[in-house]
Structure 1
Amino acid sequence: MTKALPVLLGMLMLGACASQVPHSTAPTSAATAPAPVAAASVPADDNLHAVAWTQTALEHDLIYQETFRSAQSQLLGALKDRNWDALPAEDRIAPSKPLKPAVILDIDETVLDNSPYQARLIRKGGEFNEADWAAWCKEERARALPGAVAFTQFAARHGIAVIYISNRAQDLDEATLNNLRKAGLPVSGPDAFLGLGTLLPGCDQVGTEKNCRRQLVSQHYRVLMQFGDQLGDFVTVLSNTPTARAQAMAPYEDWIGSRWFVLPNPTYGSWEPALFNNEWSTPRVQRRQQEIQALHSD
């Protein structure tokens, strides 16, 4: 009995230790083990990170503030230089010297933030469509982007016309002008907004290119600066391929940061269809694969 006591005590101690093993490390049967999460059950949305960055990253706001502050610091110098003009030669169809000064700004993702609309698409799992976009515009709720109000108000106070050239449809003019005013952006009148569909006699509109509207502005103003988030906000890009886009911008690289101010837009733009041959009718999964193939890792 005396010799058996240590053995008995050892067995009891082992049993006690086994009862204290954490549940997470205790063996489980196949029937009770949690099923692994399949990768396909977590669908990817290629725009999620872009919209999250746009809405939450302080870096986004700082880039806008930096851009508009830099432009404001140079604006009066450009005003005094009578030879200063921010229009490409092909868009300047009237002499600039006797004309009043102006600045041209795109609207969406340049002065107004439409990321709430993008967020709605992500939550619904959908893509851009004209009906939903028009409904969003008519809500007149887009907020001004950082620095835009201060810059445009500064320009207006110094007698510089603020002209908005946008690819919003012209029938959204009332809602757009109301939204601009609500956001604190200066609007001199209905002619301040040149939407898609604005006509210039003798100029053939090619798709959504803005050259005809820039030419229309050139008849009345000397343009000191242009602002946008797309290459088409500054120059005509008829062949939307990566190579052609680079060629269209190459002659004006020295204008970046002085006459032309480019703002970031990772959520949408002509850069994207350039990667899948501008074929929006291609199924979404195939377009995504073509964008992946355009990536480089060296």
Structure 2
Amino acid sequence: MSKFLPALVGALVLCGCASHAPHSFAPTPATTTGSVPNPAAMPTAPADDNLNAVAWTQTALEHDLIYLETYRSAQSQLLAALKDNHWDALSPDDRAAPYPGLKPAVILDIDETVLDNSPYQARLIRHGGEYNEADWARWCKEERARALPGAVAFTQFAARHGIAVIYISNRSQDLDRATIDNLLKAGLPVAGPDAFLGLGTLLRGCDQIGTEKHCRRQLVSQRYRVLMQFGDQLGDFVSVLDNTDTGRAQAMTPYLGWIGKRWFVLPNPTYGAWEPALFHNAWSTPRDQRRQLKIQSLRTD
């Protein structure tokens, strides 16, 4: 929040006219004559599907306010959930052991939930590239991702009240140390290495399916009663084995009553399972064809 609010307050004081929306200003009439530029003759840059998404993530005050609102709302409900011995935020599929008597915990995803990786996305846009594991690992090892608004205050509040803070992430296990160090640098509490369950964490008797977090949630369920879960993807809350519009809706529908109470969903327009669902989950499809399929998915009515 600190990157926006001082500038916002200053702007309101100087102009004294905060009610004017940017689009309410009429353009200044031209004082020179000349031909109107032909749009077809003007140079154009190739479209990048992620440009607006990353620009919004990095510059829009609305982005930060949504995060702050979400974490503040969760914090205001956390102690009531702690006192309710029948309160559990794991689905029946993920609850592998009875929760009465277990210590309380909250589960949070990391990327775009507590840490902001938009600089990595911005680099891809500037260089015209796409996600790849080598560049992603290099970014993670820089340990420069900042905490997202509200995340530090919420997790520290939970820790002060004896609630374990558990991070379940699809960062690979070889990024464990860099990830934990980044979390600590950003001010997020990490009780120890067991507080971070990266991709590759195994649970005996549970079959790992792709990058699904089901087995890791089951692992947490053996030790904790989970009060809340936070994430930017449906898979941070429930297994989605059919990544289609129908499959995603069916996976989430039974838990709609939990949204904003036990499950807190954060916005991520820059990447996620929602995107490949638009082109049949086939990343091998050429980039321009993937873009056309995404355009075809748009509604015009």
TM-score (norm 1): 0.88
Q: Name 1:105's counterpart in structure 2.
A: 108
2:279 to 276, 279, 284: 276
**Other-structure match for 2:196:** 193
CA RMSD of aligned residues (A): 1.6
The match for 1:36 is 41
Deviation, 1:42, is 1.5
Q: In structure 2, how many angstroms separate the alpha carbons of the residues matched to 1:24 and 1:209?
A: 62
1:23 Cα offset (Å): 7.8
Deviation for aligned residue 1:166? 0.2
For 2:41, the aligned partner's letter is P
Residue from 271, 287, 290 that aligns with 2:290: 287
Q: d(CA) in 2 for partners of 1:67 and 1:127?
A: 30
% of aligned pairs identical?
80
Which residue of the partner structure matches residue 297 of structure 1? 300
Q: Deviations over 1:271-295 (max 9, x none)?
A: 0000101000000000000011111
Unpaired runs of at least 5, structure 2: 1-30
| CA distance, structure 1, for counterparts of residue 187 and residue 127 of structure 2 | 31
Match in the other structure for 1:6: none
Matched, 1:84 2:93: no
Query: Is there any run of 5+ residues in structure 1 with no aligned partner, and where?
Result: 1-21, 27-32
Q: Deviations over 1:57-101 (max 9, x none)?
A: 000000000000000000000000000000000110111011000
Task: Name the SS of the counterpart of 1:141 in structure 2.
Answer: coil
Look at both structures and tell me which one has the larger radius of gyration over its CA atoms. 1
Listed as ranges, the matches of 1:1-298 within 5 Å are 24-25=33-34, 36-38=41-43, 41-298=44-301
Q: How far, CA to CA, are the matches of 2:61 and 2:221 in structure 1?
A: 37
TM superposition shift of 1:37: 1.6
Q: Distance in 2 between matches of 1:81 and 1:132?
A: 44
Q: Which amino acid aligns with 1:243?
A: T
SS in 2 for 1:179: helix
Whichever residue aligns with residue 49 of structure 1, its letter is: N
For residues 39 and 150 of structure 2, the distance between their equivalents in structure 1, rounded to whole angstroms, comes to 51
- Distance across 1 between alignment mates of 2:32 and 2:234: 59
Distance in 2, Cα, partners of 1:24 & 1:267? 43
Aligned residues: 270
Cα deviation, 1:199-233, whole Å, max 9, x if unaligned, reads 00000100000000000000000000000000000
Cα deviation 1:148-204 (Å, max 9, x = unaligned): 000000000000000000000011000000000000000000001000000000001
Partner-residue secondary structure (3-state), 1:278? coil
2-side partners of 1:244 and 1:23: how far apart? 58
Q: 1:112-152 CA deviation, whole Å, 9 max, x = no partner? A: 00000000000000000000000000000000000000000
Q: Find the aligned partners of 1:50 and 1:34 in 2 and give their Cα distance.
A: 25
- State the Cα distance separating 1:35 from its structure 2 match: 8.8
CA distance in 1, matches of 2:88, 2:298: 37
Give the counterpart letter for 1:214 in structure 2. Answer: R
